[in-house]
Structure formats: structure tokens, C-alpha cells
């Protein structure tokens, strides 16, 4: 795919593939095009030229809500929780596309997801804006899971979080992958990303400059100097 912003090329022939249930990362510095990639796949940035396919179906021209219904959910950079709404209201918003289904099904999803994020249980009636950064990131992921994605897009979830918080967050992501959710993870923190992903791409200036298994990537000089310092 190719993407332009304000007339400038930001993604220049990027070609990625994610198998069902696979955890793949996109490593890149500020401005590399990670968010542009995530937002394009989610349908939030148009037009994109080239092709975006989900299980054989072309989705590169579809609307964001259709793409969510098809099974791709974005956890945006900077969390973007609805601050004045409660944690519970945020979670229910994540199930918006299933609003016509029986209430019991949403409640089951909610119970299952709160099992993964037990810390949110005590905070359900609290305004999301009052949560810590790490809790807001957990909420943003939990909200995305309410749409029952096959593919979860995570845009720099570690941003601005303390190392211990990052560790617990990535433990949760690992758990989701083990449960069968495919993940595309954009990160500058390669060390954290390599813990959960089996394969990765390195994005520089809108190009994939390196790709392979994360064990192999971690050995590459180009990565060690720039992202693994």
C-alpha cells in the first residue's frame, strides 16, 4: 500500500502479511509512518492506493465501522479513551457495532474481558480520564476487544509508560495472542515488542527496510544501534 498526507508520500509501497493468530510488529522511529499504517488499515485514512485484504476480501476502500465489523480493531496511539465517560461506558462503546444483539452477549463479553483486566473491575464507575496512563492503556485495549476482533492493531501501547507497567501490559498482550487473537503491534520499544511477536518489520521513511523473525531481527546491527540501544 501507499499513503500520502498533505500531498507527501508517507507509506511508499509497504507490503505486510499477518497470518491468523500471528503476532507481528512494526518497528520504527518517530515519523516512520507507523500510525499512518495503522490508521489506513482501520479505514481512518483515505485514500490509500494499493490493496488491503482481510482473508481475501478487499477492504482498502471500506469505512471504519465496516472494518471493525469485519474483525479489525484499532487501539490508537495515545489511548484516546473517552475521558468524561466511565470505564464501563467506554467498554460498552467498544461493543457499539453489536448493539442490536441480545444484551446478554455483550455482558458475557464484558465478563470475559474483565477477567483479563481485573484491575478495571474496581474502576467501572470511575471517569476514564481519572485512570493512570497504564490503566487507560488497559482500558483502550479492553474497549477494542469488545468488538471481538480477529486482528488487533496496537499503536505504540508502551508510549509514556514506566518499564514495570509496560511489562505487565505486554504480559496481557501475550495472553491475548495465546488465546488466538492476531496482533499487529507498532512500537519504538523493540525489546518489548520482540517479547510477544514472532515476526517483525522495520519501517523507515515509509519503507520496510528489514523484515524477519524477531529472534533474527534482534541480532541485526541496524536494530541494535537504533532500537535496542
Ligand X SMILES: Nc1ncnc2c1ncn2[C@@H]1O[C@H](COP(=O)(O)OP(=O)(O)OP(=O)(O)O)[C@@H](O)[C@H]1O
Answer yes or no whether residue 33 interacts with ligand X by CB under 6 A: yes
Cα separation of the two ends of the chain: 30
Q: Which is nearer to ligand X, 34 or 199 (CB)?
A: 34
Q: Which is nearer to ligand X, 77 or 89 (CB)?
A: 77
Answer yes or no whether residue 225 interacts with ligand X by CB under 6 A: no
43 binds, among ligand X, Mg ion, none (CB under 5 to 8 A by kind): none
Answer yes or no whether residue 200 interacts with ligand X by CB under 6 A: no
CA-to-CA dists, residue 160 to 65, 132, 166, 177, 182, angstroms: 29, 11, 9, 23, 24
Shortest approach of ligand X to residue 105 CB, angstroms? Answer: 35
- Name the one residue in this structure whose C-alpha cell is 544501534: 225
Which sign, positive or negative, has the C-alpha torsion 201, 202, 207, 211? negative
Answer yes or no whether residue 60 interacts with ligand X by CB under 6 A: no
Instruction: Name the DSSP class of 189.
Output: -
Shortest approach of ligand X to residue 45 CB, angstroms? Answer: 9
Give the up-direction half-sphere exposure of residue 63: CA atoms within 13 A in the CB hemisphere.
3
Please spell the DSSP secondary structure of 152-183, one letter per residue.
EEEE-TTTT--HHHHHHHHHHHHHHHHTT-EE
What gap in Å lies between CA 106 and CA 112, rounded to an integer? 10
Chain residues 175-194 in contact with ligand X, contact rule CB under 6 A: 188
Q: How many residues bind ligand X (CB under 6 A)?
A: 13
Q: Which is nearer to ligand X, 5 or 17 (CB)?
A: 5
What gap in Å lies between CA 91 and CA 213, rounded to an integer? 34
Q: Which is nearer to ligand X, 60 or 95 (CB)?
A: 60
Answer yes or no whether residue 147 interacts with Mg ion by CB under 5 A: no
Answer yes or no whether residue 204 interacts with ligand X by CB under 6 A: no
Chain residues 24-63 in contact with Mg ion, contact rule CB under 5 A: 34-35
Answer yes or no whether residue 5 interacts with ligand X by CB under 6 A: yes
Answer yes or no whether residue 77 interacts with Mg ion by CB under 5 A: yes
229 Cβ contact partners less than 8 Å away, ≥ 6 residues apart: none
Answer yes or no whether residue 68 interacts with ligand X by CB under 6 A: no
- Footprint of ligand X on this chain (CB under 6 A)? 5-6, 10, 28, 30-36, 77, 188
Amino acid at each position: 500500500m501507499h499513503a500520502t498526507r498533505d500531498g507527501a508520500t508517507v507509506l511508499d509501497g509497504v507490503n505486510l502479511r499477518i497470518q491468523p493468530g500471528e503476532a507481528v510488529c512494526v518497528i520504527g522511529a518517530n515519523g516512520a509512518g507507523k500510525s499512518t499504517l495503522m490508521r489506513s488499515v482501520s479505514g481512518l485514512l483515505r485514500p490509500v492506493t494499493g490493496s488491503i485484504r482481510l482473508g481475501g476480501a478487499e477492504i482498502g476502500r471500506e469505512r471504519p465501522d465496516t472494518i471493525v465489523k469485519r474483525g479489525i480493531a484499532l487501539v490508537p496511539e495515545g489511548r484516546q479513551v473517552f475521558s468524561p465517560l466511565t470505564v464501563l461506558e467506554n467498554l460498552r462503546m467498544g461493543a457499539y457495532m453489536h448493539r442490536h444483539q441480545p444484551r446478554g452477549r455483550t455482558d458475557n463479553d464484558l465478563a470475559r474481558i474483565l477477567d483479563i483486566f481485573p484491575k478495571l473491575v474496581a474502576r467501572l464507575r470511575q471517569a476514564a480520564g481519572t485512570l493512570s496512563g497504564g490503566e487507560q492503556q488497559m482500558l483502550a485495549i479492553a474497549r477494542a476487544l469488545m468488538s471481538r476482533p480477529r486482528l488487533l492493531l496496537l499503536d505504540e501501547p508502551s508510549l509514556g509508560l514506566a518499564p514495570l507497567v509496560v511489562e505487565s501490559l505486554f504480559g496481557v498482550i501475550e495472553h491475548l495472542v495465546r488465546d488466538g487473537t492476531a496482533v499487529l503491534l507498532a512500537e519504538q520499544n523493540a525489546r518489548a515488542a520482540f517479547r510477544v511477536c514472532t515476526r517483525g518489520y522495520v519501517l523507515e521513511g515509509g519503507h520496510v527496510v528489514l523484515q524477519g523473525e524477531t529472534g533474527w531481527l534482534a541480532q541485526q546491527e541496524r536494530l541494535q544501534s537504533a532500537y535496542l540501544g
